[in-house]
A = this chain, B = another copy of it.
Amino acid sequence: MDRRKFLRGAALGTAAAGSLAAPAIAQSMPKLQWRCTSSFPKSLDTIYAGAENLAKHVSEATDGNFTIQVYASGEIVPGLQAADAVTSGTVEMCHTAASYYVGKNATYALAASTPFGLNARSMHAWAYYGGGLDLLNEFFAGEGLYYVPCGNTGAQMGGWFRKEINSVADMNGLKMRIAGLAGKVMEKLGVVPQQIAGGDIYPSLERGAIDAAEFIGPYDDEKLGFYKVAPYYYYPGWWEGNLLLNCFINLDAWNALPLGYQSLLKTAGAAATLEMLADYDYRNPSAIKHLVQNGALLRAFPQDVMNASFDASQAIYDEITATNPAFKKVYDSQMAFRNESYLWQQVAEYSFDTFMMVKQREGALKMGG
């Protein structure tokens, strides 16, 4: 298009400029059809919706010019191979939990969730304003990936146990479905970590092949019915004080995108992150009530289990930082903020929440319901 003609058009006012600018718009809004492989089944509707919400925001804002088709775990590749399928270019994009890939490099976990790490709000603060996303994308560039946050579950539950845990000694010898860094920490407590797919957890618990299993939180856990075979429901899931979900985009595909599409993907990812957390925060309250009504026995992890797990986590972090400089660089940044953040959170936020929880227990919040 002739630039002088465009500028003349612009001078004629908004409507004229709009119609003359059309070819330029078309160039910057190319038709794109991407595939996004999810690490999750559709039955985990809240978490699966992360990628679907992102795709919907992108498609609607581009009048359907940029579409992203989401495929459930297993439709293209198995859930735990989602990131590899993006690196290799099988698909342009995946939606996953980066903590699945600690076997490749422990640094992945720092994009998603680490034992005794940040909670959801402090994770977002560090990622978006504390330089976290930049540090992570430096690392992921080496993996052929570009990273966009896409969803958060909030703090998860500690999982389902067939027997009550009264002290750290009761953890010794326990066969527990738990993976990744949390599995390594649990090993130091004498737990024998087991890798079991979501659908196989219930029968394994039922026949006693395992003694315990971590999954997500009330809304997702209720669907699988664990309370019937392992009624002790422990909290908190100290390995997932938050779980930030991750979209990985093939780095070449990312770099080939028009700037407008890059910006839109980041905006849609941030919106999808807020939405997933809100979705869980809306669904979990009624789910925890149903679970308890149906026989789930809510228990806090004993303090010595928490402390032993915390100490074991530090030992794991010491081991990793001693040998993995990429991990250490991101970890040091995240941990420096962790200390500052949990100081401030004690003041306005925690004291407000505590007061409201006391009132909730007193029954004083019921008058509106």
Residues of A within 8 A of B (CB): 14-15, 17-19, 21-26, 28-33, 57, 60-63, 65, 116, 119-122, 124-130, 154-158, 217-218, 235-238, 241, 258-260, 263-264, 266-268, 270-271, 273-275, 277-286, 288-289, 298, 300, 306, 310, 314, 331-332, 334-353, 355-357, 359-360, 364-369
Contacts and interface: CB of A to CB of B under 8 A. Distances in A.
A61 B335 contact: no
A274 B124 contact: yes
B341 A357 contact: no
A241 B360 CA distance: 15
29 contacts: A14-B31, A19-B26, A22-B25, A25-B29, A60-B259, A61-B263, A62-B260, A121-B154, A125-B278, A125-B280, A126-B282, A128-B274, A128-B275, A128-B278, A129-B278, A155-B349, A157-B348, A236-B347, A236-B351, A285-B340, A288-B347, A310-B359, A310-B364, A335-B368, A338-B356, A338-B365, A339-B360, A339-B366, A345-B357
Contacts of A158: 348
A369 B339 contact: yes
Nearest to A157: B348
A365 B348 contact: no
A238 B348 CA distance: 9
A166 B36 CA distance: 58
A306 B358 CA distance: 12
Given A25-B63, A260-B63, A342 B360 contact: yes
Contacts of A154: 121, 348-349
A156 B349 CA distance: 8
Nearest to A333: B368
* Max count, chain B CB within 10 A of own CB: residue among A24, A26, A33, A364: A26
A30 B80 CA distance: 43
B369 A342 contact: no
Contacts of A57: 263-264, 267
Contacts of A217: 348
A352 B14 contact: no
A9 B264 CA distance: 26
